[in-house]
Structure 1
Amino acid sequence: MKTDFKFSNLLGTVYRKGNILFTPDGTCLLSPVGNRVSVFDLVNNKSYTLPFAHRKNITRLDLTPRGNLLLSVDEDGRAILSNFPRRIVLFHFSFKSPITALKFSSSGRHFAVGLGRRLQIWHAPSVPGTERGGELEFAPFVLHLDLAGHFDAIQNIEWSSDSRFLLTASKDLTVRVWSLDREDGFEPTTLAGHRHAVKAAYFTADQESIYTISQDGALYRWKYVAKERSPDAKEENKDLRWRIVKKNLFSQSAKLKSSAFHARSNLLVVGFSNGLFGLYELPSFNMIHLLSVSQSNIDCITINNSGEWLAFGSSKLGQLLVWEWQSESYILKQQGHLNSMNALAYSPDGQRIITAADDGKIKVWDVSSGFCIVTFTEHTGGVTSCQFAKRGNVLFTSSLDGSVRAWDMIRYRNFRTFTAPSRLSFSSLAVDPSGEVVCAGSTDSFDIHIWSVQTGQLLDQLSGHEGPVVSMAFAADGSYLVSGSWDHTVRIWSIFGRTQISEPLQLQSDVLSVDFRPDGKQISAATLDGQLTFWSISDASQEHIIDGRRDVSGGRKITDRRTAANNAATKSFSSITYSADGLCILCGGNSKYICLYDVGTGSLLKKFTVSVNTSLDGTLEYLDSRDMTEGGPSALIDDVGDASDLEDRIDRTLPGVKRGDAAARTTRPEVRVAAAAFSPTGRSFCAASTEGILVYSLDTEFIFDPFDLDISITPDSILDTLQAAKQAPASASPDGNEASFLKALIMSFRLNEATLIRAVYEGIPASDIPHVVRSVPTVYLPRLLRFIVNATDETPHLEFNLLWIESLLSIHGRYFKDNSGILAPELRAVQRVIHEIRDGLKKLTERNLYELNYLLSKPLLTGKTSSVTNRIDEIEPTAVSDHV
């Protein structure tokens, strides 16, 4: 089994904190998710997470106007500069202190950051091929100006359209106008007049006016005009300065939390602390919409370049919304779990992931798109376990609300609810593979309850355990049930036999998780002392033990007085699962590591790090004395009383609570893996962690992965080769054209730039496809097949793409058959797109047939029968269908 799994995607979390922004073309939305950045493609309905990660949660990010460079900054002021289209980290930099605002200039040559009260303007890194000439720089960040003038933190920065001036809005109730370079007759100007902290300031499109917005909902319009004087005053004594020419109030009882302004269309969007947002047209201040999109603060708002889509982020509920205001419809509406996830399960086809969490919700995530497609909210308590049955058509879940529910995954509804005679909180679940029987264990009662799925009746209660039953699993053939309990025993039950006598297997510590090998001949159990124990089902004999305490141990909490190596809380596995072939076992627990073991030899194959985010507890290994004070760790010192606003000083938290809305805000989430699962194909696995659903895959594709590249291969040389092949006469050489097309295709694959490959691919004539395919080296065949599959999904050239697929499979069929194990993902993708094309054509022909039958059934106009009508009458319906 292959073990080189790579991080592929992050699901289950769509927004944490910081600002969100659109790409320059307005088709993608970037959202900070913890210490990573997720990208939501709103046109192709897909999402992906950039591969790099910060050391702490991201607070600010921004793109250059060209959309090629992404700058993201975390809570400590550490920045990562990356090439956004190719997802490559270019440079690491530290601003030495947390930043409160970040903005690239309209020209892309500078960017400004707010470091508390100071404003710094930096030269943006130059890019090869731009006007500034372009070799790569050794030091991309060069400080241009370091300005001071505000008395409190800068909250927002806005550049003018010509990149000569910029505005800074601060908590000191003022807005300042700065110039990038020294301007004749210009001095930095302070705009004062607000009574609360200024949230944002914006230039109009003509730069003749400035809008400022404060936290109390006041909108001021400023213009550079003279003070009104008496008619007798002389003209030359006019005092020109920025003055307030209009004041407006939003008339909301809640505080204004965020805003965005689209200068070209004069649209202003504001978000309030009660979840309302308003859309206004300026300067008339006409309210277009006032709607509620959340029940908590709207922390961030952004508008795409066309001004059609509005994006909202709410950190408390983890919501991310994109709304089209003209049609009043949602483009994107996603929300993660409010509390930690407890369980997850792959669907049998591997296309869905089910997550269950403490917030009582069950979410269905699409693996290919990364979006949540269904949310079930019928449970009133935390959901503890979930499992599929009936080939993925039925989902079973157990909850602390005392119910086990069955869900129809075709119609997405709850069709059966199972309860015990007395009120119990169910903590574990197991379903017979046939879907006829469901079993559940509880922490309140030590019995195992068994229900019939057909009737919903309680069939039996299995007694024997002397402690809470925390984990159960059925064998693949349904003949045996294994259960693990805190009473240090694992029991094997034959619930369909004549006698339901269990076989107790004694252990040295509490059992945390059990699982059956897919062939049903072996069981494994994870215990509190960090050991994995394996038994044979045939004779109930112990086969071997894996001691995983050293492997899983890692990470210390901020309140721990010992290092990670001496921390007993992280030395056990709470979740284990076999791989699809039964050769490996995947283990996770209250640690930052996921371990993959070989079952036969007991050796550790690979160790995956869940997160390097130091904003979470359990990611650091050693104590840092710089973070310790006389009052304890600096991160846990309550500074609520130092807030400037009364609303922020009020402490509504409950002491000792760590989860839920009443939790103390000074406690930090802990890194842990609540559950892990292999996909049915074994090509990927997912883990439910504090950060979200981490997906690791063998089929990761790199955006920029040059192959056998040399200095002569450039985009211009590739296009020149393609153009020469098109212009060369076909009669000049028997293989001349094909060789030139082949050369251009191979050069594009070596550079591996998607746009260039697409240009060469679509530039090859259909008649030359078999000749080009016949000469393609075998090392490029997987890349070519993968590209054609993606092109089939994205381009309308059905026949052209099918000609390529037909030529590849007919000419190189032997190669694909001999390497079917390695090329399985590509071959499955080819099968999928062919089925989609077939289904689409079938629907199209049926629709055309119905339309023609409808037209033929209508009476003809008297005296106006045409030859075309006569021709339609002669066509048989089947012939019409075949023709279409």
Structure 2
Amino acid sequence: MKFTYKFSNLLGAVYRKGDLIFSPDGSSVISPVGNRITIYDLRNNKSNTLNIESQYNYTSIDLSPNGLLLIAINEVGEAHIISMISKMTIHKYRFKRLVRCVKFSPDGKHFAVCKENNVFIFNAPGLQTGQFNPFVMERVFHAAMDDTTFINWSYDSKLLAVGSEDMATKIYSLDKYANFRYINLGGHSDGIVACFFEKKNYDLITISKNGQLCIWECTIDPEDLMPVEVPPTKRNKITDSDEEDDVNIEETIEKTDKQTKAYEDSLLKPRDSSESLVKSTEDETETKQLRYIKLGRHYLANDVQKQEKIKVTLTAAAYHQQTHILVVGFSNGSFYLYEMPDVNMIHSLSISDQRITSIAINPTGDWIALGCSTAGQLLVWEWQSETYAMKQQGHSNNMNCLAYSPDGQYIVTGGDDGKVKLWNTMNGFCSITFQEHTSAITGVMFSHNRKFIVSASLDGTVRAYDLARYRNFRTLTSPRPVQFSCVALDSSDEFLAAGGQDIFEIYLWSVKLGTLLEILSGHEGPVASLAFNPSATSTELVSVSWDKTLKIWNAIENGSSHETIQLTADGLYVTYKPNGEEVAVATLNGQISFFHCKTATQIGSIEGRNDLGSGRSDTDLITAKKSLKGKAFSVLCYSADGTCILAGGHSVNICIYNVQEFILMRKFVITQNKSLDAVDDIINKRNLTEFGNLALVEEREENEGGEVKLRLPGVKNGDMASRNIKPEVRVYSLQFSPTGQAWAAATTEGLLLYSLDAGLVFDPFELELGITPESVQKTLSQKQYAKALMMALKLNEKLLIKCVIENIPCSDINLTVMGLSDIYVEKALKFIASELEYTKHIHFYLLWIEVILTNHGTKINTALQMPILLTLQKNMQKKYDDLSKICDFNQYTMSYLKKVGAFKATNNNSMEIEEIE
């Protein structure tokens, strides 16, 4: 059993809050998901979460024009510069305050940052600037009277438009110009949400929260800007905009006085004096200042309020310069497309009843990305064809439970929102969502034949869903309403059991008939967990309850007769070992106890409370050391080979224990996100005042429409969407993949996937002294294929094994496999099964699989080799799905070409007949 598991992907959460951006090629969307960043490849239909973790949630991100650098800033103002080539953080910078917006200039040489009422201009590191020292400050502007909210650069990176909460938009210049000074554009009656420059000119569009849109026209062309020569000593000096504004204001006052005097003199002179008129106009053009004229004002919110008949607020906007398309989103979940500058409405759509947080348009203008933070929703809308390029949504509340499919390709999850979702582990997307339940899901299970899934809920029903037609084909209920807290399915997929939370009974149904077979009574407390024996020859059922008992049932044969084992504390979770001979039970006192099922005797126990880690909530009145005494493991899972057990609970840690020695092998920290509660062991002393803990004081934030949202006292779980909360970190469910190569955890952050990195450590197998890569290559060149393959398997280097296998001719595969011993055949099959996922030589590897299974199939079909076979099945199924699409497309293309050829042949024959006649 290897322990080199590392984070591979994040599922179940597609968007939390912050900016959405498209890649320069327009085929990928970059989304902040809590304290991580996920990239959604829309062309290949795949998602990938970067292995970069911040200590707080990301709020502002932007990508350089060349797509090489990503700047991500979290909610406490810590900025990370991330290389998109190596996918690593290369520099960090602390702004120490909330940053509302960050934007790269179009030439990629600078980036601007909004903090409070200031705007900071930094040199961007890279070849374009010639500097690789990040965060070298170039300019600072602080003319705004309130917090700055939005930044937009002009097309030539000379001017900068900055919107703020003081209902005005400021125009700054990166360099000094003789005919330009700082400009303040008013005219709005609410805070600025967005401002956008037009293409190839300095015309401007400004949008405020109340839906008011103003169109501004610039009085000069971009070529008319006159740079000011700066002395070399002052060229690299950081200047303040207020000082330069004073100088510019005096200069412009003198120039305007001269212009006014010249214009008055020209008016006093006779009209036929053409020379004076020419001179006066020349003086005007020489000193023509950059000014803005308001061309129009439009109220976009009126269109929404007429349809919805409620007060709405404009929350997000995006503009595409090439196509002049403006997209605005509102607090009621609707978004509108307008054609500028005429403000003609093209399209309107409502995606939900929650506010739209962020909008982005890809470089070609075809796709629009919309993020809704409250619902955790991310959409990519193709507005011309009115179709979704991507539509993903995670669980709006906590994710309670998960289950792997038998081949490890899919994961089914259930949440507090009553939804059951099916996730594809290959691409990270949700395939289907079932919404039949009306209350929180407490348990989900995959059938062993992968044809259906079952779920239990607090609404008193257990439902079965068909994965072929995607429908709820069976709804199972009890004689009287019961809140089901757990569910289990036997190895034959014929019997289904569910335990009650308010009524302390276990209900047994037949899946095929849909009838209730038995009601198992005996527990005196809520049934916490159920499990059927995984062995195909046994229908044994075990259950644990809060009444401190473990009961072993054989309900199919003996009805309600059972055997009771007394536990030391309340039972929280029970699971079977893969061979079906042992069970592991997690109890409230922090222990994991192991029992032999046939003899009902305890084999051993693990004291895991100290391994959980304390973690102190901001509102806790006791220390972390004291709170640790009340924590315990709430979920367990055996590894695929049964040698280790995975345990998690009300903590930030997940532990792997060895079952034989009962010792801790490795501990995983699932998150470092301090935006969640109970991550740290200590509380910030600044929050502890003489009047008490400041974390107990309710923070009231004014939302859209002036409403104030409060958190109800004492609420720990349930519907918290309309209240101000700080969720507490917790592991709700755990499961190993049947292939043994990965495991998944349903946590407060989402569905975390950890996979086995085989290339991380050097792990030889029965290595001998003379085996080196050079000797393997030499043996291979001598055409001793079986010996070379065994040497490569002993060295256990992935690239070397691949080189040996792919250099063996197809005609010698059978002879090579016959020359291997059973242990090396198993190693070779394991490598081929994993390599099949990525290789292009599909037929070649299928020949290897056919020969191995034909000659050694009877020896491989055991419980220990089952993960290898499941990995093989999963990768072959993936290749089949990918190739079937290509083959179907080619089949239809070839039939079309045949029809076209036959049509042309008939036309040619008819023409020849006509010529002969």
Q: Runs of 5+ in structure 1 lacking a partner?
A: 703-734, 736-751, 753-760, 771-780, 793-800, 869-884
Match in the other structure for 1:105: 105
Farther off after superposition, 266-275 or 178-187: 178-187
Q: Is the 8 A contact 1:637 1:666 kept in 2?
A: no
Secondary structure at the aligned position of 1:567 is classed as helix
Farther off after superposition, 385-394 or 299-308: 385-394
Alignment deviations for residues 157-213 of structure 1 (CA, whole Å, 9 cap, x no partner):
111111111110000011111111222332111111111111111110022311111
Secondary structure at the aligned position of 1:392 is classed as coil
Secondary structure at the aligned position of 1:342 is classed as strand
Match in the other structure for 1:190: 184
Amino acid aligned to 1:470: A
Residue of 441, 453, 460 corresponding to 1:383: 441
- Closer/same/farther in 2, CA of residues 38 and 843 from structure 1, 3 Å limit: closer
Match in the other structure for 2:62: 62
Distance, in Å, in 1 between the alignment partners of 2:586 and 2:603 is: 14
Q: Is the 8 A contact 1:569 1:590 kept in 2?
A: no
Match in the other structure for 1:562: 622
TM (norm. structure 2) is 0.79
Q: Is the 8 A contact 2:64 2:108 kept in 1?
A: yes
Q: Is the 8 A contact 2:34 2:749 kept in 1?
A: yes
Residue of 404, 408, 411 corresponding to 1:353: 411
Counterpart mapping for 1:209-288 below 5 A = 209-225=203-219, 241-250=291-300, 251=302, 252-253=304-305, 254-288=312-346
Alignment deviations for residues 658-704 of structure 1 (CA, whole Å, 9 cap, x no partner):
445556734310000010001001110000000000000014899xx
Distance, in Å, in 1 between the alignment partners of 2:447 and 2:53 is: 37
Q: Is the 8 A contact 1:211 1:220 kept in 2?
A: yes
Alignment deviations for residues 316-363 of structure 1 (CA, whole Å, 9 cap, x no partner):
101100001111110011111011111100011111100001110000
- Closer/same/farther in 2, CA of residues 183 and 633 from structure 1, 3 Å limit: farther
Secondary structure at the aligned position of 1:356 is classed as strand
2:166 equivalent to 1:121 = no
Match in the other structure for 2:565: 505
- Closer/same/farther in 2, CA of residues 207 and 790 from structure 1, 3 Å limit: farther
**Residue 467 of structure 1: CA displacement?**
0.8
Distance, in Å, in 1 between the alignment partners of 2:109 and 2:62 is: 13
**Residue 295 of structure 1: CA displacement?**
1.0
Distance, in Å, in 1 between the alignment partners of 2:745 and 2:498 is: 23
Distance, in Å, in 1 between the alignment partners of 2:704 and 2:872 is: 62
Secondary structure at the aligned position of 1:497 is classed as helix
Residue of 304, 323, 328 corresponding to 2:386: 328
Match in the other structure for 2:909: 864
- Closer/same/farther in 2, CA of residues 690 and 631 from structure 1, 3 Å limit: farther
Q: Is the 8 A contact 1:640 1:648 kept in 2?
A: no
Distance, in Å, in 2 between the alignment partners of 1:837 and 1:265 is: 36
Distance, in Å, in 1 between the alignment partners of 2:7 and 2:105 is: 33
- Closer/same/farther in 2, CA of residues 569 and 10 from structure 1, 3 Å limit: farther
Secondary structure at the aligned position of 2:556 is classed as coil
Match in the other structure for 1:436: 494
Q: Is the 8 A contact 1:320 1:333 kept in 2?
A: yes
Match in the other structure for 1:548: 608
Distance, in Å, in 1 between the alignment partners of 2:374 and 2:728 is: 17
Distance, in Å, in 1 between the alignment partners of 2:658 and 2:109 is: 53
Farther off after superposition, 429-438 or 315-324: 429-438
Alignment deviations for residues 459-517 of structure 1 (CA, whole Å, 9 cap, x no partner):
11111111111100000134210000000000001112246421111112110000111
Counterpart mapping for 1:97-176 below 5 A = 97-126=97-126, 130-133=127-130, 137=132, 139-176=133-170
**Residue 555 of structure 1: CA displacement?**
1.1
Q: Is the 8 A contact 1:383 1:398 kept in 2?
A: yes
- Closer/same/farther in 2, CA of residues 525 and 101 from structure 1, 3 Å limit: same
Match in the other structure for 2:578: 518
Residue of 668, 683, 708 corresponding to 1:608: 668
Larger RCO of the pair (alpha carbons < 8 Å, separation 6+): 2
Distance, in Å, in 2 between the alignment partners of 1:341 and 1:386 is: 11
Match in the other structure for 1:450: 508
Farther off after superposition, 649-658 or 173-182: 649-658
Amino acid aligned to 1:864: N
Amino acid aligned to 2:388: Y
**Residue 862 of structure 1: CA displacement?**
11
**Residue 866 of structure 1: CA displacement?**
10
**Residue 54 of structure 1: CA displacement?**
0.5
**Residue 441 of structure 1: CA displacement?**
0.7
Q: Is the 8 A contact 1:570 1:589 kept in 2?
A: no
Amino acid aligned to 1:584: C
Alignment deviations for residues 627-670 of structure 1 (CA, whole Å, 9 cap, x no partner):
334554444533427x4x78334346544434455567343100
**Residue 451 of structure 1: CA displacement?**
1.4
Secondary structure at the aligned position of 1:496 is classed as helix
**Residue 244 of structure 1: CA displacement?**
0.9
Secondary structure at the aligned position of 1:626 is classed as helix
**Residue 388 of structure 1: CA displacement?**
1.8
Q: Is the 8 A contact 2:124 2:134 kept in 1?
A: yes
- Closer/same/farther in 2, CA of residues 700 and 88 from structure 1, 3 Å limit: farther
Aligned length: 786
Amino acid aligned to 1:484: V
Secondary structure at the aligned position of 1:566 is classed as helix
**Residue 291 of structure 1: CA displacement?**
1.2
Match in the other structure for 2:12: 12
Match in the other structure for 1:693: 751
Distance, in Å, in 2 between the alignment partners of 1:425 and 1:810 is: 50
RMSD: 4.0
Distance, in Å, in 1 between the alignment partners of 2:849 and 2:407 is: 25
Distance, in Å, in 2 between the alignment partners of 1:608 and 1:837 is: 34
Counterpart mapping for 1:387-398 below 5 A = 387-398=445-456
Amino acid aligned to 2:620: D
Amino acid aligned to 1:93: Y
Match in the other structure for 1:480: 540
2:200 equivalent to 1:206 = yes
Q: Is the 8 A contact 2:710 2:723 kept in 1?
A: no
Match in the other structure for 2:253: none
Distance, in Å, in 1 between the alignment partners of 2:193 and 2:692 is: 34
2:653 equivalent to 1:593 = yes
Residue of 311, 324, 328 corresponding to 2:369: 311
- Closer/same/farther in 2, CA of residues 223 and 512 from structure 1, 3 Å limit: same
Distance, in Å, in 1 between the alignment partners of 2:882 and 2:720 is: 52
Secondary structure at the aligned position of 2:395 is classed as coil
Match in the other structure for 1:291: 349
Alignment deviations for residues 353-399 of structure 1 (CA, whole Å, 9 cap, x no partner):
00001110000001001001100000011110011224121211110
Distance, in Å, in 1 between the alignment partners of 2:907 and 2:316 is: 68
Q: Is the 8 A contact 2:179 2:290 kept in 1?
A: no
Secondary structure at the aligned position of 2:99 is classed as coil
Q: Is the 8 A contact 2:36 2:53 kept in 1?
A: yes
Farther off after superposition, 79-88 or 512-521: 79-88
**Residue 116 of structure 1: CA displacement?**
0.6
Distance, in Å, in 2 between the alignment partners of 1:700 and 1:211 is: 54
- Closer/same/farther in 2, CA of residues 809 and 377 from structure 1, 3 Å limit: closer
TM (norm. structure 1) is 0.82
Distance, in Å, in 1 between the alignment partners of 2:503 and 2:847 is: 64
Match in the other structure for 1:22: 22
Secondary structure at the aligned position of 2:449 is classed as helix
Farther off after superposition, 622-631 or 13-22: 622-631
Alignment deviations for residues 429-450 of structure 1 (CA, whole Å, 9 cap, x no partner):
1112112111111111111111
Distance, in Å, in 2 between the alignment partners of 1:855 and 1:178 is: 62
Greater C-alpha Rg? 2
Secondary structure at the aligned position of 1:152 is classed as coil
Amino acid aligned to 1:152: D
